[in-house]
Structure 1
Amino acid sequence: MAKTSASPETAGKGPLSQKVSLRQKHRLSLTPAMRMGLRVLALPTESLTEEILREAEVNPCLMVESWPTSSAYEVALDTAAAPEGLSQSLLRQLGMQRLDADVKEAARVIVAELRADGYLDASLEELVSDYGIAKPLLAAALAAVQSCEPCGVGARNLAECLALQLRDAGL
């Protein structure tokens, strides 16, 4: 009896060959809950309200509570933004001025040093020593801050505040 050995070239080509293959399929299936969710999301407001009431009649676990309706004014009042603070207002105004980057940065320092009522307690010399910014830059920055609204902001005392207000009024 002669033995035959299959060479690698002829292996798997005979009538009794075996073949291994791997297939992968992706399939998306929507559950009934997902289908209902998609249907509910597509409903307009009136139809959604009707659907909720219909489901509440069928399902004793669901309870429908009505909310008091508000006027458009009340809704707008409830959603109004918080008023802008003095520092935010000044920084916004300074951002609209054509200032060199160094002057703008010095102006930010001055805004940070302002009291809540808009007065500047620190002298320019103190700001020079605290922040290391040149005095001419601080003077230009102070002038830029004092040109902002409200009139008189950045003043170091009442006399300067009144002088700024008079200058703004053209007197």
Structure 2
Amino acid sequence: MSGTVTAVSSNGTYSFTKPNRDSVTLLAGLGVAGDVHAGVTVKHRSRVAHDPTQPNLRQVHLIHEELFAEVGADGFTVTPGDLGENITTRGIDLLGLPTGTLLHIGDEAVVEVTGLRNPCRQIDAFQGGLLKRVVGRDADGNLVRKTGIMSVVRTGGVVRPGDRIEALLPDEPHRPLEKV
């Protein structure tokens, strides 16, 4: 399974969106250099308030560009970085990957998939009604979160738009993604 990086984004201050960059540097065990969510322990405000010593399983947020076209058909305009992701991808089924998948990105970087991003009310503050479009139910009534995946950096490196992404699945049995 493979895909392509279409955009990279980071922000050194807390905000919902992240500006696009020419490149980002992933730091092993930390996340995106200079990004507010980088660190060994949790950085998301709600998780820090609950327990600031939790490990940071959300160092790098990846989202599939195909989601933007999907919500665009419903009249929403979403572009790379708008939903706070660090890496925007195309051509790889991020939501279908099992927990523990290793994503080799560009020449050096490797991230390990830890789970799904849990969409929050900030999405509706960004564009009213968007939250209902990025959270749904499957045919069996199970909750489906569409706002990308979270990961930790195993091997650092520079990531740029146009870089190839190769997925290395973990040994079976595969564990489906859950919110982190």
- TM-score, length of structure 1 as denominator length: 0.25
- Higher RCO, 1 or 2 (CA under 8 Å, sep at least 6)? 2
More helix, by proportion? 1
